[in-house]
Structure 1
């Protein structure tokens, strides 16, 4: 019985990767796994925790190449998550490479039953033009008593929570400088 138990324990440890052969293979493979990739640190886009992630990609965008994400993992140097990721964060590679993921702006013209792709310049110009039109038509510079209030109450802004403090501060200041009163954050939704 003792010999059988020892044999089962040794076999189990070997199957779990504690054998000498498995350790030797892992020592040679691990350093080469991501050797030819570009490492980019980022923030997980899902919730307001703002976990740090490392994205590994092949291809250099700066050279005009299309970058392909080959691996995403938690950032062990990030103070929020220390390398751990929730199930949503662990599945980020599928999120990035999903065939249904939008990669450019789309617009549905009046009377149409489908969306059409537009350029980023066209989308941003349209957004800016519509915001200016609405702000010019609905901006309240003073209240009923004549006091300056500088309010734009017909447009709201929903900001992302997976961002740095500096970006969040800048976003809030831009919204308030425009006079936007309705400002909220994704973390509360």
Structure 2
């Protein structure tokens, strides 16, 4: 039978194999019989949440050799039921992009150059600055003499890509530190 023979048409195979709804072997080509899913080679699957918006669609992240090879919607997610928007579907490209910055970069005031920092140094710098700003802006009492125990030197801005639990913990952290200026991107 030649490659373009009418006898090889799927409709004729369906009728010949008594498969009128095309749900059986008659609809498979030689090529489709050899195909395997992209996720078949994954070492493990990690459940995650899409990073793009506040909806919180569930994702299944397929990992092979500690590298993300595919990201799909999580059918067990009550929010998205296995579906992802175009941005969520492109999450794998975000993770594996050659242009993704994965180093901690710091630019000193009035400097034009970025400097790479190690994690420990960056965390120490953030902690020192947070504590100093809190100390400088601390108020024991307001103008009327009422005890307030607060700081105006620190403010918090939450993001809509964080889930409720993360925003809750950030709110608790800033409140415990005495900050009263707390806002979220979703309200702005």
State the TM bucket, normalised to the shorter chain: 0.7 to 0.9
Gapped regions of structure 2 (runs ≥ 5): 1-7, 13-20
CA distance in 2, matches of 1:186, 1:101: 24
Quick check: which has more Rg, 1 or 2?
Answer: 2
The residue correspondences of 1:81-120 to structure 2 (distance < 5 A) are 81-120=80-119
Q: CA RMSD in A?
A: 2.9
Preserved contact between residue 41 and residue 64 of structure 2 (Cα < 8 Å): no
Among 47, 52, 56, the alignment partner of 1:50 is 56
2:18 pairs with 1:19: no
How many pairs were matched up? 171
Partner of 1:140: 139
Preserved contact between residue 136 and residue 153 of structure 2 (Cα < 8 Å): no
Partner of 2:18: none
Residue aligned with 1:162, SS = coil
Partner of 1:29: 36
CA distance in 2, matches of 1:92, 1:130: 33
C-alpha change, 1:75 and 1:152, in structure 2 (3 Å) is: same
Preserved contact between residue 107 and residue 118 of structure 1 (Cα < 8 Å): yes
C-alpha change, 1:70 and 1:144, in structure 2 (3 Å) is: same
Query: Which is bigger in relative contact order (C-alpha 8 A, separation at least 6)?
Result: 1
TM-score normalized by the length of structure 2: 0.78
Gapped regions of structure 1 (runs ≥ 5): 1-6, 60-66
